[in-house]
Amino acid sequence: MTALWLLFLSLGAAGVALCLARAAAGPTTPDRVVGVDGTVTISIALMVLLSSFFDRQIYMDVALVYAVLGFIGVLAVARYMERGV
């Protein structure tokens, strides 16, 4: 069981690291935005996994807030890019 948790958390951390590497290296600003947005998605999955790991169902609310609101920042930057803000 511990090995399974280790696998899950390692995959999540690797995903975060890869997305942040794209966000740090990306030559243009849209690359960086997409990298950070991928990080948001993987972090939501990590939070759901951790709520099961800590055995507290109420922690799920934090992941819910991120899932509902996580796209608004990306939307703001996208509207800036098409000169709409």
Question: Where along the sequence are the contacts to other proteins (CB under 8 A)?
Answer: 9, 13, 16-17, 20, 23-24, 29, 32-33, 36, 39-40, 43, 46-47, 50, 54-59, 61-62, 64-66, 68-70, 72-73, 75-77, 79-80, 82-85
Contact present, 75 and 60 (Cβ < 8 Å): no
Cβ closest to other proteins, residue 1 vs residue 25: 25
- Distance, CA of 36 to CA of 26 (rounded, Å): 11
Q: How far is the CB of 35 from other proteins (least distance, A)?
A: 8
Q: Sign (positive/negative) of CA torsion 5, 7, 11, 17?
A: positive
